[in-house]
Structure 1
Amino acid sequence: MKRVLQTLAVLAVLGGLGAAVVVSFGLYNVSARVGHLPGVSWVLHTTFRNAVSLRAPKHADVPPLSPEMAELGARHFDAACAVCHAPPGRIRTATMRAMLPEPPRIADAVAGWTPAELAWIVREGVKMSGMPHWPSVRDDEVWPVVAFLMRVGEMTGEDYAALTAPPRMPARAPEGAAYCAGCHGVDGRSGNPHIPRLDILGAPYLALSLETYRGGMRESGVMRHAASEVPETALPDLVRYFAEQGSTDATTGGAGMPGTEGAADGAPRASVPEGRTSTGAVPDGTASPTPGPEAPGTNAPGTDTPGADPGLVARGEALALASSGDRDVPACRACHGPSADRKSADFPELSGQYAPYLETQLKIWRDGTRGGGPRANLMTRAAAELGDDDIAALAAYYASLSPQSAPAEE
């Protein structure tokens, strides 16, 4: 037994010395042109699949993957991922095909993976493959991408183009506006409950948001990427353009869900016919009429949905006005309205914002993963004691209100 141990020790030392020689003298050829030694690709891919399977979230943790989430995911994929993983209707460039490992077309890449496994891959990335991790600590943002990935295998090129084509912009739109409007709408209303309305936020808050996204102070993989795509010199004009979209719409109805934004009398606005995307295209790729170059185009809301539970709205109102008796939850309206004397431009107006978006934001405030501007700590403390039911109620209340005029910059 002693001789066996001595032999193993000698072999271990020799192996270590051999590895040191290979590393020190560069004997292993790392050229992507040469490729891997036989069997290495199998070892790496098998390790990859088993590692993902071991660490992926539980199936019960997968949220409902709605078409609206898939549309948001498609937009982000097109901006951040399509260059490597060719979507339907496109091919990979020769440069991408020369990578090792070669990034597969997205329809091939997602085959055989569950939603939970795809979420882990999108969030964590893959070492030594060129696949980056999600550029934010937020876990919730990967699910829209997963919603898209679960549908992409059945898409045609026309389907994909209908989801991701840039909207037609009015002539006055500044540089980069079409890129922003792809998600947020030509008029800043988005029409997607997971994407915030910009038309009600006001120029000072929009400018602060872009600054904190670009500077890494506010967490969002989607918006950090988007804010870095647009030249910094274009940001002031973009802020001004989207803020101006709300200057004449301060009396329109609330936006609990797309399709419920109405006039002051509560009558719903005309909705996009069922099956259309917010860019005005249908899944078969047939484009619907788009606004002319001088028209202030809109991304019309999605299909109509029932209003929120009146009891939930009432509960949210009590919390927002601090009349619920819960001393651990401060009044929301002092900073966020609705209030005629709300004067600070440092805080966003919430009236008329989409409920699902508000729920997400309140949850990441509570969980401490949002970040933001110089006063972000105030909201982190304010949301710390909110339960999920409180958050749902507050979101329903603010979404039921008519948008208010944002205060001017102090």
Structure 2
Amino acid sequence: MTIRITWARAIATLVGLGAAGLLFAWSGLFNIAASSGHWPITDWFLHWTMRNSVRTHAAFTSPDDPADATGLVSAAGHFANACAVCHGAPGVKPAPVMQSATPPAPDLAINAREWSDKQLFWILQHGVKYTGMPAWAVQDRPDEVRRMVAFVRRLPGVTPAQYEALVNEANPGDDLASCTGCHGADGKGRGAPDIPVLGGQDPAYLLAALKGYADGTRSSAVMQQVAMRMTPAAMTDAARRFAAMPGLGAAPAGSAAAARIVTQGIARIQLPACASCHAPGKPYPVIAGQRADFIAQRLRHWQGDDTIVDARKSAATMPVIARRIPKEMIDPVARYLAGQTTATR
């Protein structure tokens, strides 16, 4: 006796299987407890699917330069604040409660070796569903993600002493410890090119920046993680103490072309002078004496932000202004503002 397969029977079978699956889900018999773990076949299938997805999406969407090793201090600081509790760190064990998840967070000193830089970038930026691995807190800061890729790539070779040196430059009991780990006890950014000098900055600007990071109106996953934990009193104290440190305010110096952009602007391309906003008494940050590589990095980041198209309709004016600066003048302008008369390596 043979059973003839028809479209009607095939569809009826599929409907029946679907109904059986819904009935099983409705019954509550499936054990979703993290403590129960996965069946080996389930664990293999989920990880196989995840690896295939990461490989495909990273190949088409990750940047060609997914790692930036110039910002290891800020990346390590963020790792200590947001990642080590799940993944652990050199000399630091992960929290037992986080390791009781299904699946548990992997040891990145081992697991990161299985991924390319482009794949690490995609995982860090977008996260992975159903694993507890979150997406990067803000999606418009690929520069932060690139720095974290470089840090994670180096984890296998980082000793506990080296990790401690990267994440900690604070005196025991110092209530500014969450800030000085990256910005330095002297407010000068520990020499890192992606960390601004805060010493001598306007205290009102520093306070407004902290509040902006805390409520999400300023974009930085690294700073949000710190600012959201600070009380208003702690923000005020941090702004006051950093502003009182020496640092900013050096006299600009450099090329005549850069000086013209800073002091006069370029009328024919509607580029206003930097000094028209960044000057004493103005409600904008002090940039005279700021680190040149930090200024250049931020200008290039703003030049790539094409979501802001009209400065008159947005508070985010810097992307519009930055795009008007000739690309070849970014470094000279940054060096001029920093008071550097020559390029440094």
TM-score between the two structures when normalised by the length of structure 1: 0.74
In structure 1, distance between residues paired with 2:92 and 2:64: 33
Residue of structure 2 aligned with 1:392, choices 331, 338, 341: 331
1: CA distance between counterparts of 2:180 and 2:188?
9
State the partner residue of 1:201. Answer: 201
Aligned positions of 1:140-159 closer than 5 A: 140-159=143-162
List gaps (5 residues or longer) in structure 1. 255-265, 267-309, 403-410
CA distance in 2 between partners of 1:251 and 1:69 (Å): 24
Aligned with residue 295 of structure 2, among 355, 358, 378: 358
Query: Given residue 239 of structure 1, which amino acid in structure 2 is its aligned partner?
Result: A
Map 1:31-180 → 2, pairs under 5 A? 31-56=33-58, 61-62=64-65, 65-66=68-69, 68-137=70-139, 138-168=141-171, 175=175, 177-180=176-179
Matches within 5 A, 1:146-295: 146-168=149-171, 175=175, 177-190=176-189, 191-246=191-246, 249=247
Q: Establish whether residue 318 from structure 1 lines up as the match of residue 260 from structure 2.
A: yes
In the superposition, the TM-score normalised over structure 2's length comes to: 0.86
Distance 2:327 2:105 in 1: 40
Q: Is the 8 A contact 1:365 1:384 kept in 2?
A: yes
Aligned to 2:11: 9
Specify whether residues 390 and 244 from structure 1 end up closer, same or farther in structure 2 by C-alpha distance, changes over 3 A only.
same
Task: Give, in angstroms, the shift of residue 253 of structure 1.
Answer: 7.0
Structure 1 residue 369, shift from structure 2 partner: 6.7
Once the two structures are aligned, what percentage of the paired residues are identical? 32
Structural RMSD (CA): 2.8
CA contact (8 A) 2:214 2:227 kept: yes
Higher helix share: 2
1:336 matches 2:278:
yes
Query: 1:315 is matched by which residue type in structure 2?
Result: A
TM-aligned CA distance change 1:323 to 1:238, over 3 Å: closer
Distance 1:105 1:129, change over 3 A: same
How far, CA to CA, are the matches of 1:401 and 1:61 in structure 2? 31
Q: Distance in 2 between matches of 1:253 and 1:114?
A: 44
Does the 8 A contact of 2:124 with 2:135 survive in 1?
yes
- Structure 2 counterpart of 1:178, which letter? A
- 1:383 is matched with 322
- For 1:351, give the aligned amino acid: A
Render the CA deviation track for 1:152-178: whole Å, top value 9, x for unaligned. Answer: 111222222222234227x9x6x2x12
In structure 1, give the amino acid aligned to 2:225: H
Are the aligned partners of 1:314 and 1:397 in contact in 2 as well (CA < 8 Å)?
no
Q: Distance in 1 between matches of 2:170 and 2:148?
A: 21
331, 348, 364: which one pairs with 2:285?
A: 348
Q: Which residue of 2 aligns with 1:307?
A: none
Aligned-partner residue type, residue 378 of structure 1: T
Maintained 8 Å contact 2:66/2:118: no
Unpaired runs of 5+ in structure 2? Answer: none
Q: How far 1:358 sits from its partner (Å)?
A: 1.5
The 2-side partners of 1:186 and 1:41 are apart by: 46
Whether the aligned pair in 1 keeps the contact of 2:188 and 2:199 (CA below 8 Å) is yes
Residue 56 of structure 1: CA displacement?
1.4
Letter of the 2:281 partner, please give it.
Answer: K
More displaced 10-residue stretch of structure 1: 119-128 or 375-384:
375-384
In structure 1, what is the Cα distance between the partners aligned to 2:100 and 2:47?
Answer: 18
The number of aligned residues is 331
